[in-house]
Amino acid sequence: MKPLTVEWLEKAEGDRDTALRELRARKRPNYDAACFHAQQIAEKCIKAFLQESGFTIPYTHNLIDLMMLCGQVDASFLILQNDLKSLEGYAVRFRYPGQAADQAEAKTAVRTAENIRQFVLSRLKPV
């Protein structure tokens, strides 16, 4: 596996650790952060696949655009569309007052990101 691919995956693992830590927190869990990091898990795993496939990584957080690039290499990525749409807004949604994630939303987001992570890892060579 290419060194930059591994680095993308390591960064995704850091986001995963943070999201899971927030879900487990007994005092002051930050469900907004868990949702943000769930989006980041998906984004960085997809970028790892793109890196490994020889793409120049675009500067975007748009998960659907990234999925479409992956689809050029492996059409099975298109089955992720609904899951990616559900995570799409978490890159910015809770940054400002007026909206907040609850525990159920955060759990769903992290579970969805984990499914995407597993999907991508199954299409990459072992680290």
Distance CA 43, CA 113 (A): 9
**Residue 52 three-state SS:** helix
How confident is the model over 63-95, as pLDDT tens digits? 999 999 999 999 999 999 999 999 999 988 888
Distance CA 37, CA 34 (A): 5
CATH class of 3-121: mainly alpha
pLDDT of residue 126: 57
Query: Which of these, 36, 51, 34, 42, lies nearest to 84 by C-alpha position?
Result: 42
How confident is the model over 1-10, as pLDDT tens digits? 999 999 999 9
Q: Please state the pTM of the whole predicted model.
A: 0.95
Per the CB < 8 A criterion, the answer to whether 2 and 55 are in contact is no
DSSP code, position 75 = G
